């Protein structure tokens, strides 16, 4: 189960007795633990008695399981978080097996790890018994849902038109998204509504925003804007080879959209495969329809020549990339850099 799905379901479902949180996004792991804490243990002093975090290598698994078996102070349940659990001895693995066969119903025990080595017996035991929550980096659409849910929990409303600019400026990193969301909510005040004008005024542009905008200008066929963004990126020191990779990725996404539309792919599948937020799908597909698949394939072939020319130093990176964009987008007007 993805972490975003877990966070969406948790308020209306009974928490499981065993979870495994895995994935690179440690902020998202923390968000899942905070959600469990709010669900299981009311605000107040009871948390000091019913919630604990442990390092298994330091505290030992025997001690962690002993805490998990303690009865909570009512009316709350107990929440126990265990980290660094993978390297268990044979004796500790047997202790783990005993617990997962009959977990304590008044306790939710959460094991946290960055990546799981499925060759380890301890991991195999948990994967068979626990609910696994994947805390991988979010897609743009998952980030949108997370921001909306986070705002609702804090008593704020987000305008749908504000989410795209925020994610475009910040990316999908939850630590930065949270930081910017908190800043915006503090600005509008309790119970306020966050609109695109507030995002434009307060959110600091991310170095990745121009990369996103360049890809957008490519599929929208806006040559002048694409050239301006290219100049800005190169002047900022962006690697030309990385820009070739970005442009190639966008062309492949457009080709994929062509293929999916040709077989009348359902909207839900299009959103999943193209990794686009719902409000951008129709605009993207409309722009793709204006480009033939043959021309997009030709663009990918041309990019391969550009990549080779860059690595061999045949011409300046700026000239090679400008020529590519002008050829692909049929631009006839030269645009001076900002």
User: Would 122 be classed as within a structural domain?
Assistant: yes
Residue 97 sits in a domain whose CATH number is 3.40.50.300
Give the pLDDT confidence of 23-81 residue by residue, as tens digits: 878 888 988 999 999 899 977 668 889 999 999 988 999 999 999 999 998 888 999 99
Domain end among 115, 134, 153? 134
Neighbours of 298 (CB within 10 A): 14
Q: Which of 295, 296, 291, 256 is nearest to 273 (CA)?
A: 256
- Residue 279: the pLDDT is 63
Domain end among 153, 178, 202? 202
- Residue 180: the pLDDT is 85
The distance from CA 225 to its chain's CA centroid, rounded to whole angstroms, is 27
Q: Are residues 216 and 312 in the same domain?
A: yes
Q: How many domains, the chain?
A: 3
Give the pLDDT confidence of 73-114 residue by residue, as tens digits: 888 899 999 998 988 889 999 999 999 999 999 999 999 998
- Residue 36: the pLDDT is 94
pTM: 0.57
Angle ∠(146,152,155) on CA atoms, nearest 5: 145
User: Would 321 be classed as within a structural domain?
Assistant: yes
Q: Are residues 91 and 43 in the same domain?
A: yes
Q: Are residues 241 and 297 in the same domain?
A: yes
Q: Which residue ranges of the chain lie beneath pLDDT 50?
A: 331-338
DSSP string, 154-223: HT-EE-HHHHHHHHHHH-S-HHHHHHHHHHHHHHH-TT-EE-HHHHHHHPPPPTTHHHHHHHHHHHTT-H
User: Would 279 be classed as within a structural domain?
Assistant: yes
Neighbours of 197 (CB within 10 A): 12
Determine which helix (DSSP H) or strand (DSSP E) holds 18, and give its type and residue range.
strand 18-22
User: Would 270 be classed as within a structural domain?
Assistant: yes
- Residue 333: the pLDDT is 38
- Residue 338: the pLDDT is 38
DSSP string, 39-68: HHS-SSTHHHHHEEEEEHHHH-HHHHHHHH
User: Would 337 be classed as within a structural domain?
Assistant: no
Domain end among 109, 134, 159? 134
Residue 177 sits in a domain whose CATH number is 1.10.8.60
Q: What does the alpha-carbon distance between residue 258 and residue 191 come to, in Å, rounded to a whole number?
A: 43
The distance from CA 328 to its chain's CA centroid, rounded to whole angstroms, is 31
- Residue 209: the pLDDT is 57
DSSP 119: T
Q: Are residues 198 and 235 in the same domain?
A: no
Q: Are residues 301 and 215 in the same domain?
A: yes
User: What is the pLDDT of the chain when averaged over all its residues?
Assistant: 85
Residue-number span of the structural domain to which 188 is assigned: 140-202
């Amino acid at each position: 189960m993805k972490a975003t799905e877990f966070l969406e379901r948790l308020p209306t479902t009974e928490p499981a007795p065993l979870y495994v949180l895995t994935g690179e996004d440690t902020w998202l792991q923390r968000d899942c633990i905070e959600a469990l804490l709010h669900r299981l243990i009311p605000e107040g002093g009871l948390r000091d008695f019913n919630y604990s975090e442990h390092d298994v290598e330091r505290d030992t698994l025997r001690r962690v399981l002993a805490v998990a078996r303690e009865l909570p102070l009512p009316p709350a349940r107990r929440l126990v978080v265990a980290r660094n659990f993978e390297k268990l001895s044979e004796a500790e693995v047997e202790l783990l097996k005993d617990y997962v066969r009959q977990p304590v119903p008044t306790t939710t025990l959460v094991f946290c790890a960055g990546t799981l080595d499925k060759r380890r017996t301890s991991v195999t035991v948990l994967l068979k018994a626990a609910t696994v929550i994947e805390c991988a980096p979010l897609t743009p659409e998952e980030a949108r849902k997370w921001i909306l849910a986070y705002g609702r929990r804090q008593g704020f409303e987000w305008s749908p038109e504000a989410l795209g600019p925020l994610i475009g400026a910040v990316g999908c990193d939850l630590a930065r998204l949270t930081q910017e969301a908190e800043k915006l909510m503090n600005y509008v005040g309790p119970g306020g509504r966050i609109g695109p004008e507030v995002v434009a005024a307060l959110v600091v542009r991310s170095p990745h925003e121009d990369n996103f905008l360049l890809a957008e200008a490519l599929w929208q066929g806006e040559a002048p804007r694409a050239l301006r963004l290219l100049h800005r990126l190169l002047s900022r020191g962006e690697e030309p080879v990385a820009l070739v990779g970005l442009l190639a990725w966008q062309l492949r996404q457009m080709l994929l959209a062509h293929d999916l539309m040709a077989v009348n792919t359902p909207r839900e599948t299009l959103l999943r495969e193209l990794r686009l937020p719902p409000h951008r799908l129709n605009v993207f597909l409309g722009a793709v329809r204006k480009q033939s698949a043959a021309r997009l394939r030709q663009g990918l072939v041309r990019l391969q020549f550009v990549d080779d020319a860059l690595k061999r130093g045949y011409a300046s990176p700026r000239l090679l990339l400008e020529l590519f964009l002008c050829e692909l987008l049929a631009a006839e007007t030269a645009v001076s850099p900002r």
